[in-house]
Chain A
């Protein structure tokens, strides 16, 4: 016991040692009186009990968990690749109950105020007329969209979602650093942080009353329901169709878009999944067009409508603003709300608050001087070295720190401000509070910023009891807090019991319980893009599998015959290498120009077919396409499916980098292991999807893709091996290899218990409808899937793709294997077999093409084209 207690003391000492030395400013945890603040005591005790080492280990676990769950944040132009893993510090940000009550009240007040300002800017503009808001401040901001004038959401609230970045100032109060009013991001990350913390650090939560985040999302749902209930004609929409509009997988917070859509049960869509017709917005789904009632947009407002806003945007929906104007769709936040993301506004909020609310601001903003006013401009110019300078326009968004600038830079800045004063503001350079972060096994004070979130209800704002805290990546530098600059996130704990009436039970429409399930599960509604991606996930998976299996066979043969190859072995091997080139379409390869030397020394070419990530047809290339398609429908995978694929991606990334040009043999060993693992993983992925994807929601598409690809691979392999006449021993070896590659050798042995014979081999591979790897089996399955497609249901006549498939299946069934194996006098190939396979291949390609055209066409096979009348000439 004594020893234990001592070791505990040691680690206690270690965790906080050196923390207080040179605290730059106020600290969240360490009080002015030289001890821990009361609300941190319990947490720090528990952390000390765990010790720095254990905390460090668990932090790794948290990071692994987040990584496996696919929590990413994309950083533009990042050499590490598109998706950077999300970083979470295990020390949460703690906020005491009383402190939070003030903050919460202040946030609500600010949201109410900003809402009134937003409504006024796009309405009467009385604040400008009354001189409370300078016209130049609003009109110079690129977020002021004149096309959005007089466009309103029904009800009191125009600012539906609001986020504020807070930091604690030297006076101990929370200050607002910036306002996020367009499409605030962070709620999903906050939720994911909490669930990772709860999973890895359940012991830290014990006996500490931490407010729950889930209520906020219930409030978001309720808010949306309340909005849709306010139809302009007074009618009430029982089950509004709600979609989350994302710019797509390349957006920095795409993970969150997918995560929220899936958490809330709304469809995740991109601009060209939607279209405007008859004055409404429609979602293109596999089953046809469906009206959309509410759009939660994560696309910047200027990009939302190429007709009236930025005409070069491909992310929006042409005609959207007109539909909003007619009140036929509700967009949150409404287009134009970015006008509030103007730092110059802060200088005018106190007086507007007194004017509109008759209240003083509860949360102060950073002292701000707008250079559009002569006195303020003079002040800023005189104090440039001590201020932070920002432009009010988010288009040339930049933040300059006066004290970091040299003489020349200061002079340039001074000139720029004097030339266009309206576009600049100066802000006080405040040192904000620090909070502890775990760094190398002990705690260090780092600057933190807390993003808080609000959502409008019927008659008030609900505040998320928590938020997304980010701490600086560099000690003493609060400007490096943002994710783009490498900041690290923290869970945020509001200490205190839940209020008596949590939001979820308040303002619940009477029919909510009944309305909710069908809304949460938009049955049968599969956006066309999602359908297409699922189809390609099926195709790429099967393509990767076929390639990997054939490669495995080829490599095995190569190893076995190493050095002592007999003539039949060489013929068989070369035929397989050629088959590989045909299957992967990596010409010239082993088929065309230069093939002779490659056939003699196949290793380099083989490694390239496996590992070259930029060579179309290579395994690595196919896998990259697969990962991209999987990622594009991020919201559809179960956690387990996701994890399987994510682990695979990681494995192949490292394999890529392990490629050693000098030691192809060593690389080959790695590769063979990787191929085995790849095959097992992809089979597991398909199995999981079969269990978790609902039949109407996409499994059908995924499996149809698989079946088509499997058929095409099989046809290609048989055509490039068994069609050509070979000497008997070589042909025998080839048949065995093809059966192996198609996972059919064991079935063959069980079924025929005989030596391989071409006729029976072909019968099993092509005709046997009971054999799950045969061509006939794929076609029958495909036929069933196609007839279950929404548009093919209840139809008397066959659709085009059904006809094509029926033709293929009939051709196959009418064929006689005994005829197929025959070979004409002096011929070198089995012509009948070849022509049958050629016809099958053509029909299947055509089927895939028709499916693509009928079901996935996002813009009716057309591109968006912007017309502008030319410059007249007079």
Chain B
């Protein structure tokens, strides 16, 4: 199955900007179940400096600088990603218990070592007792890791309301726990914090989701948005994704862009501009199936 994704970010400045430095994580990474076949980054105005690299987590980063006066900035990334169905789906109700998984992590085997960094607290996710208490309900003694995680996802989906514009990037987890509402990032963050409070590795995934229009309505271009979910590490089988916003295990409709410890590691576009005025922002995302 192949998707074509067009992701456009526009900044309009009230006053002219003479210099800006930016970092974008907008080129989808490849992994076992997806291949980024091509990706084209268009920036207007044309930046004087542009380079690409891989960051600490293996995400693809574009650095660019615009060094002449400009009133707006547009970053448009067109990518084609080929997805294959995830075959190595572990049996949810079998597999190792979560306590066993914790023990197996205490090894210096490369994949386990890499996973261990995702147990630690991260910039946006400090450990908390409330979160741990919430998690414990799902992580009963001897329960298989994936079953427990699935239960956690189901509970979050049930207990929390999806309410756009209620939270911002600065809303702490404790507030979300109290209000019981949020958006996909919040649910992903909460799930990750829960897993880590149990001593288990979990990471944050940013990406896209193909949306299917209601029957009889036409597909609207640009009506999609970026999405977020999480992944838990199962020793012996690797990372398994969960989407708590939709209460499902992602398959071919979820396209991974980047991953990290939390949102702060993968924010799609950030920059420092030298300007005296305010700015306005608009984002549009379009995910279109072009084959399969």
A319 lies within 8 A of B267 (CB) = no
A135 lies within 8 A of B117 (CB) = yes
Cβ distance B1 to chain A, nearest Cβ, rounded Å: 20
A307 adjacent to chain B (CB < 8 Å): yes
A867 to B64, CA, bound (A): 14
Residues of B within 8 A of A862 (CB): 17-18, 274-276
Closest chain A residue to B75 by CB distance? A869
Residues of A within 8 A of B184 (CB): 872-874
A483 to B226, CA, bound (A): 51
A873 lies within 8 A of B183 (CB) = yes
Cβ distance B235 to chain A, nearest Cβ, rounded Å: 15
A868 to B184, CA, bound (A): 18
B165 lies within 8 A of A278 (CB) = no
B49 lies within 8 A of A865 (CB) = no
A809 adjacent to chain B (CB < 8 Å): no
A868 to B120, CA, bound (A): 24
Residues of B within 8 A of A869 (CB): 9, 267-270, 281, 283
B53 lies within 8 A of A874 (CB) = no
Cβ distance A123 to chain B, nearest Cβ, rounded Å: 13
Cβ distance B65 to chain A, nearest Cβ, rounded Å: 6
Which of B19, B228, B265 is close to A872, meaning CB atoms less than 8 Å apart? B228
A325 adjacent to chain B (CB < 8 Å): yes
A864 to B164, CA, bound (A): 30
Which of A146, A319, A868 is close to B65, meaning CB atoms less than 8 Å apart? A319
A278 lies within 8 A of B49 (CB) = yes
Contact flags A255-277 to B (C-beta < 8 A → 1, else 0): 00000000000000000000111
Query: Chain A CB within 10 Å — which of B18, B22, B108, B227 has the most?
Result: B108
Residues of B within 8 A of A307 (CB): 21-23, 270-272
A863 adjacent to chain B (CB < 8 Å): yes
A277 lies within 8 A of B185 (CB) = no
A146 lies within 8 A of B55 (CB) = yes
A865 to B80, CA, bound (A): 33
A873 lies within 8 A of B225 (CB) = yes
Residues of A within 8 A of B51 (CB): 322, 326
A867 lies within 8 A of B19 (CB) = no
A870 to B268, CA, bound (A): 9
A282-319 interface with B by 8 A CB criterion: 306-308, 311, 318-319
Contact flags A324-361 to B (C-beta < 8 A → 1, else 0): 01100000000000000000000000000000000000
Residues of A within 8 A of B274 (CB): 859-860, 862-865
Cβ distance A54 to chain B, nearest Cβ, rounded Å: 59
Cβ distance A148 to chain B, nearest Cβ, rounded Å: 9
Cβ distance A306 to chain B, nearest Cβ, rounded Å: 5
B185 lies within 8 A of A139 (CB) = no
A322 lies within 8 A of B63 (CB) = yes
A869-B267, A869-B268, A869-B269 are contacts. A874–B227 as well, Cβ < 8 Å? yes
A128 to B268, CA, bound (A): 30
Closest chain A residue to B274 by CB distance? A862
A415-433 interface with B by 8 A CB criterion: 419-420, 422
Residues of B within 8 A of A308 (CB): 23
Interface class of chain A by DSSP: loop
Cβ distance B116 to chain A, nearest Cβ, rounded Å: 5
Residues of B within 8 A of A866 (CB): 270-272
B67 lies within 8 A of A129 (CB) = no
A276 lies within 8 A of B21 (CB) = yes
A860 to B53, CA, bound (A): 30
Number of residues from A at the complex interface, CB < 8 A: 44
Query: Chain B CB within 10 Å — which of A129, A140, A318 has the most?
Result: A318
B141 adjacent to chain A (CB < 8 Å): no
A872 lies within 8 A of B283 (CB) = yes
Which of B11, B18, B226 is close to A860, meaning CB atoms less than 8 Å apart? B18
Number of residues from B at the complex interface, CB < 8 A: 55
B72 adjacent to chain A (CB < 8 Å): no
Which of A135, A318, A868, A872 is close to B116, meaning CB atoms less than 8 Å apart? A135
A835-874 interface with B by 8 A CB criterion: 859-874
B251 adjacent to chain A (CB < 8 Å): no
A228-276 interface with B by 8 A CB criterion: 275-276
B100-121 interface with A by 8 A CB criterion: 108, 110, 113, 116-117, 120-121
Which of B9, B23, B121, B183 is close to A874, meaning CB atoms less than 8 Å apart? B183
A834 to B184, CA, bound (A): 69
A496 adjacent to chain B (CB < 8 Å): no
Cβ distance A873 to chain B, nearest Cβ, rounded Å: 5
A279 adjacent to chain B (CB < 8 Å): yes
Residues of A within 8 A of B23 (CB): 307-308
A865 lies within 8 A of B273 (CB) = yes
B219 adjacent to chain A (CB < 8 Å): no
B56 lies within 8 A of A865 (CB) = no
Residues of B within 8 A of A318 (CB): 21, 272
B30 adjacent to chain A (CB < 8 Å): no
Residues of B within 8 A of A311 (CB): 270, 272
Residues of B within 8 A of A874 (CB): 183-184, 209, 225-228, 245
Residues of A within 8 A of B271 (CB): 307, 866-867
B252 adjacent to chain A (CB < 8 Å): no
B19 lies within 8 A of A129 (CB) = no
B127 adjacent to chain A (CB < 8 Å): yes
B269 lies within 8 A of A277 (CB) = no
Query: Chain A CB within 10 Å — which of B17, B65, B245 has the most?
Result: B65
Contact flags B266-292 to A (C-beta < 8 A → 1, else 0): 011111111110010101000000000
B272 lies within 8 A of A136 (CB) = no
Residues of A within 8 A of B268 (CB): 869
A149 to B57, CA, bound (A): 10
A587 to B51, CA, bound (A): 57
B48 lies within 8 A of A868 (CB) = no
B108 lies within 8 A of A129 (CB) = yes
A287 to B78, CA, bound (A): 43
A872 to B7, CA, bound (A): 12
B227 lies within 8 A of A275 (CB) = no
Cβ distance A742 to chain B, nearest Cβ, rounded Å: 40
B169 adjacent to chain A (CB < 8 Å): yes
A131 adjacent to chain B (CB < 8 Å): yes
A326 to B117, CA, bound (A): 28
B247 adjacent to chain A (CB < 8 Å): no
Residues of B within 8 A of A871 (CB): 167-169, 183, 185, 263
A149 lies within 8 A of B56 (CB) = yes
Contact flags B145-185 to A (C-beta < 8 A → 1, else 0): 00000000000000000001101110000000000000111
Besides A319-B63, A864-B274, A872-B225, 9 more A-B contacts (Cβ < 8 Å) are A129-B108, A139-B120, A277-B48, A279-B49, A865-B272, A870-B168, A871-B169, A872-B185, A872-B226
Q: Name 12 A/B residue pairs within 8 A (Cβ), A-sorted.
A: A129-B110, A277-B19, A307-B22, A307-B271, A864-B272, A869-B9, A869-B269, A869-B283, A870-B283, A873-B184, A874-B183, A874-B227
B residues adjacent to A (C-beta < 8 A): 9, 11, 17-19, 21-23, 48-49, 51, 53, 55-57, 63, 65, 67, 108, 110, 113, 116-117, 120-121, 127, 164-165, 167-169, 183-185, 209, 225-228, 245, 263, 265, 267-276, 279, 281, 283
A residues adjacent to B (C-beta < 8 A): 128-131, 135-136, 139-140, 146-147, 149, 275-279, 306-308, 311, 318-319, 322, 325-326, 419-420, 422, 859-874
**9 A-B pairs closest in CB distance:** A318-B272, A146-B56, A319-B21, A862-B274, A872-B226, A874-B225, A867-B271, A873-B164, A869-B269
